[in-house]
Amino acid sequence: MSTRLDRPHYHEEYYRTLKSGIGHLNKLERGQNFKERGFSSWEAFAAGRWDEALSLIEEKREAYVRQVGEVDRLGVLQRRLRVVEFPVTPYVQWELHVLRLRVEVGDRIRLLDARTIAHIEKHREVPEVVILGDVAMFEVQYDHDGNAAGARHYTDAELIAETSAGFDQLYARGEEYADFFDREIAPLPPPVATP
């Protein structure tokens, strides 16, 4: 059983739960194409201005430092696992440059080659989820155009525990960010954006 939350209510419930004394925050990202309107780096990427897109990522440093610091001050262990399909989509190529900055400021991010979980995804891709302790889980929703559109909110303890166990297994199989990035992303030529 879940409750559908629009984007503002999802963010409200997310931050309320984050500050409620949970011990960990786990995020699994699976989608390969999204829109991040309003983020100047994404706007430049979508317009085909790759060098500008990369230079604009730095604008987010202070915001990311604050985000990571806030979570750390709350005593919450935050981990993110990013699934990457091959060939790498233009969006993911851009996003992994953004995530490199997040890693620099202390985010714990691992990357997982989608081919290594093909046996798990025979009938359905792993869901795009955010797990907050053992009390809340959000399956993030997007519209047909790849824009964030809210989430399904779950509070069933058994479902959250099962999903958390699955996340832990996949995170353990994930590769350290720098190793993956240096091997798979850094050598790629600039992508051709498909906004």
Q: What is the pLDDT of residue 194?
A: 67
pLDDT at 142: 86
> Over the stretch 19-55, which tens digit does the pLDDT of each residue have?
999 999 999 999 999 889 899 999 999 999 999 999 9
Q: Is 188 helix (H, G, I), strand (E, B) or coil?
A: coil
Which tens digits make up the pLDDT trace of 129-162? 999 999 999 999 988 877 788 999 999 999 999 9
Backbone angles phi, psi at 79, to 5 degrees: -135, 140
Task: State the chain's maximal CA–CA distance in angstroms.
Answer: 46
3-state SS assignment for residue 132: strand
